[in-house]
Amino acid sequence: MSADLFEPFRLGDLTLANRMVMAPMTRNRADRVGVVPPMTVAYYQQRASAGLIIAESAHSSADGVGYPFTPGIYTDAQAKGWLRVTDAVHSAGGRIFLQVFHCGRISHPSLLPGNATPAAPSAQRAAGQAMTYAGMQDFVTPRALLTREIPGVVAQFRHAAAMAQRADFDGVEIHAGNGYLIDQFLRDGSNHRTDAYGGTVQNRARLLAEILDAVCTEWPSRRVGVRLTPENSFNSMADSNPQEHFEYIIRDLGRHDLAYVHVLEGDMTADVEAGGIDRRATTKAMDYRSLRANFAGTYIANNGYYLARAQTALRHGAADLIAFGVPFLANPDLVRRYREGLPLNDADPSTFYGGGEVGYTDYPLYRSTYLPAA
């Protein structure tokens, strides 16, 4: 059946006003203890016309922090800050999930309690540098998590999920992509373990499965989503056979009866021109239609989508929902602009990460220049 971007969609027991999802986007505007400020309330409320907002990544614990001025969801103060956001979104008629993550090796000792060495599946250092309060610093070689420590990581995600429920989110998304801890376990370029969490794809998927089992004791499974990024090279990531491995992973997710799987299609470091020309179409290694066919539930497609491409994907059954990032960042009324064919605001990349209201809550709504006759 042909679907339209602007029609309602049933997501588990929730009815979404449309099939447009605001993608999670880190904005680095929390305080040093991971509490979102009042301007974050306005930011998300302005965008509540999205069928679903997936709020920016929130750390599952102090051990998982990887960036300065990013929010958490493991303390009472953090949950209270987020509650102001969810109240505002709900008052505007919106729905909002929280993405929860642990950065693993994509961190730096200066960001962690006691200047601890970041933990990862294996002692494999990522290329590049960490963003810290003192500026950019080289990533360090992480320590490999001991097998006996892994239940503690799982427990942190369960606690974070419980705190998200206290903050009155509509659900949670477990971030298993973009080179963060769960993704580091999933992909064989970063997971060189020889215990029950390494080697085969079945073993490498074990941590994600255990986290989902734990989170689904706090939330109904139909209020839990997962983010996957099978071929994204961001944060020095790679896998020897992403098609085969992630087809197994996405099939295995089916047994959890989740709200959705949210897939970043392609490599976020590849170029998509501002005008919407997708240069990755001729270079994709993955068959995402095949990947999507291995998951019986709701599939959210992400990465470089614009109006025409989104409508085509929905019409052809390539996705159920479409996630938009920068277009929502710069256009709080993106749903209206797309529906009515209105021009879009230009985004200012210099304000994406850190700062105040400028480039955050001050993007204007569309104002018609039409003046009715006297």
Report the alpha-carbon distance of residue 16 to residue 8 in Å, rounded.
5
Q: Are 164 and 172 within 8 A, CB to CB?
A: yes
For the record, the structure tokens of 311 come out as 């409508």
Which three-class secondary structure string do you get for 217-274? CCCCHHHEEEEECCCCCCCCCCCCCHHHHHHHHHHHHHHHCCCEEEEECCCCCCCECC
Q: Which amino acid is at 131?
A: M
Distance of alpha carbon 15 from alpha carbon 189, whole angstroms: 39
The HSE-up count of residue 171 (CA atoms within 13 Å, CB side) is 24
Q: Which residues belong to the active site? A: 180
Joined tokens for residue 368: 């018609």
- Class of residue 217 by CB neighbours under 10 A (exposed 0-12, middle 13-18, buried 19+): exposed
For residue 289, give Cα distances in angstroms to 176, 271, 293, 316: 20, 21, 6, 10
Of 2, 17, 215, 193, residue with least CA distance to 100: 215
Distance CA 278, CA 283 (A): 10
**At which residue do the structure tokens 């001991």 appear?**
146
Q: Between 150-166 and 76-91, two packed helices, what is the crossing angle to 10 degrees?
A: 40
How far apart are alpha carbons 237 and 39 in whole angstroms? 34
Q: Which residues pair with 137 in a beta bridge?
A: 130
CA dist 197 to 120, 169, 180, 210, 274, Å?
12, 31, 16, 11, 41
